[in-house]
A = this chain, B = another copy of it.
Amino acid sequence: MNSDQISVVTGGAGFIGKNLVERLAASGQCVLIFDDLSRGGEDRITSLVENPLVQFRQVDCADPHAMSEALASVGGQAHTVWHLAANSDIPAGVADPRIDLHRTFQTTFGVLEFMRSAGANTLRFASSSAIYGPFGDVAIFEDIGPLAPISNYGAMKLASEAQINAAVEAFLPRAEVYRFPNVVGAPATHGVIFDFVNKLQKNPMELTVLGDGTQRKAYLHVHDLIGAMFHISKLDGRRLTFNIGPQDEGVTVRFIAETVRDKVSPAAAISYGEGRRGWVGDIPSFHYSVQKLVDSGWAPSRSSAETIVCAVDEIVESRLSV
């Protein structure tokens, strides 16, 4: 690889990362993946590097020197870094805050140090709707306050955004911050659909659900997410921050459970727990405004419900084909 314009993708072995790398390579870009493989993904890397435009180095993104050495080993200039590496297991981060400290925040800190020494131009950062915390029935737009995340994951995403903002002030030419809610599609590595499919494959007669099933969340398909990120990447500005999500109030856990059940094991009974929260840091419902994104000229192709139906099909089919 010796292009002058390498796109670095951290967390490229993950679910969103794999989809992004495929899209970048399909558009002719040279891609260098950094991933510590702490959540697996060797199989996804194997398939990605079949494309000669894609290379992979196993590094911890909290270590800027390791990334600099890995870039030097490949050759070329890193113009853009898509920073997706983070802890994707929110309950694990609740049990041990050091997981989100390291994988969600210190990776961002390391990426910024790497970008400064590499003279890179643009950071594209996968932030999260979890930075907002609970707002009840108030619509969440980008400039709302106060920001009071209730999970360690959300806290460390907000910490990352703050550090990125200071970096733009100090040295970084441009940063794009994408705040998105639950993203689904194949290959699933975690998340509610993934969990429900697993449970039904273990026990085809019963699906147990945390909480009473009335929790409502917005879901975005990974293809829509990448479309939105590409759209934002073409807008002007030094600091761009956008909510990305569907234009609806989301779907309930009950809807997801029934969709998975109907697809995987129609005879299964669904049993619900009590209360609206599935785990500490889980927010039972929120209203996510993507008006700024829509005003900029982009809208998702699917509603939350259409996204869930599509993703359940994709996830079940990709698991059957393994």
Contact = CB atoms under 8 A, between A and B. Distances in A.
Interface of A: 94, 97, 101, 105, 109, 112-113, 131, 133, 142-152, 154-156, 158-159, 162-163, 165-167, 169-170, 239, 241, 280-281
Given A145-B145, A146-B241, A163 B170 contact: no
Contacts of A170: 94, 152, 280-281
A101, A105, A166, A241: residue with the most chain B Cβ atoms closer than 10 Å: A166
Contact of A159 (B94, B145, B162): B162
A273 to B, nearest CB: 19
Interface of A is mostly: helix
A155 B166 contact: yes
B165 A148 contact: yes
B169 A159 contact: no
A77 to B, nearest CB: 23
B97 A112 contact: yes
A112, A133, A162: residue with the most chain B Cβ atoms closer than 10 Å: A162
A109 B155 CA distance: 11
Contacts of A166: 97, 149-152, 154-155, 281
Nearest to A241: B146
Contacts of A146: 142-145, 147, 241
Contacts of A147: 145-147, 162
Contacts of A158: 158-159, 162
B155 A163 contact: yes
A65 to B, nearest CB: 13
A149 to B, nearest CB: 5
Contacts of A144: 145-146
B169 A162 contact: no
A112 B133 CA distance: 20
Nearest to A142: B146
Contact of A281 (B94, B154, B169): B169
A156 B94 CA distance: 20
A63 to B, nearest CB: 13
Nearest to A106: B101
Which 8 pairs of residues, A with B, have the shortest CB-CB distance? A145-B145, A159-B159, A155-B162, A150-B169, A155-B166, A158-B162, A143-B146, A155-B163
Contacts of A143: 145-146
